[in-house]
């Protein structure tokens, strides 16, 4: 996984969205599979759950993922 640069001018949620987008477009997380959980991503990158949720919302807005309550966030397509 890539690193988050906490000193970058790019907001952390946007950095994480880019990392996750890369995982999707590379096929690391293919269509139909779940992204890593919010708690996992929060711990892995040392960021708040709310920041992870904002990053995932970016991907939802782009039509790459869909949230399934109680199940997770699943890849629905690739750009």
Can you list the domains of the chain with their CATH numbers?
A: 12-75 (1.10.10.10)
The ranges of the chain with pLDDT < 70 are 1, 77-79
CA-CA distance, 40 to 72, in Å (whole number)?
12
**Among candidate residues 41, 43, 33, the one with its CA nearest the CA of residue 68:** 33
pTM value? 0.92
**Among candidate residues 42, 56, 45, 75, the one with its CA nearest the CA of residue 14:** 56
- A 10 A CB-CB count for 12 gives 19
**Among candidate residues 19, 8, 73, 66, the one with its CA nearest the CA of residue 45:** 19
């Amino acid at each position: 996984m890539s690193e988050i640069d906490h000193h970058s001018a790019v907001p952390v949620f946007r950095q994480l969205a880019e990392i996750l987008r890369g995982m999707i477009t590379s096929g690391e997380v293919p269509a139909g599979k779940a992204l890593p959980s919010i708690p996992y991503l929060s711990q892995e990158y040392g960021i708040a759950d709310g920041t992870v949720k904002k990053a995932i919302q970016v991907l939802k807005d782009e039509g790459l993922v869909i949230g399934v309550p109680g199940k997770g966030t699943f890849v629905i397509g690739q750009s």
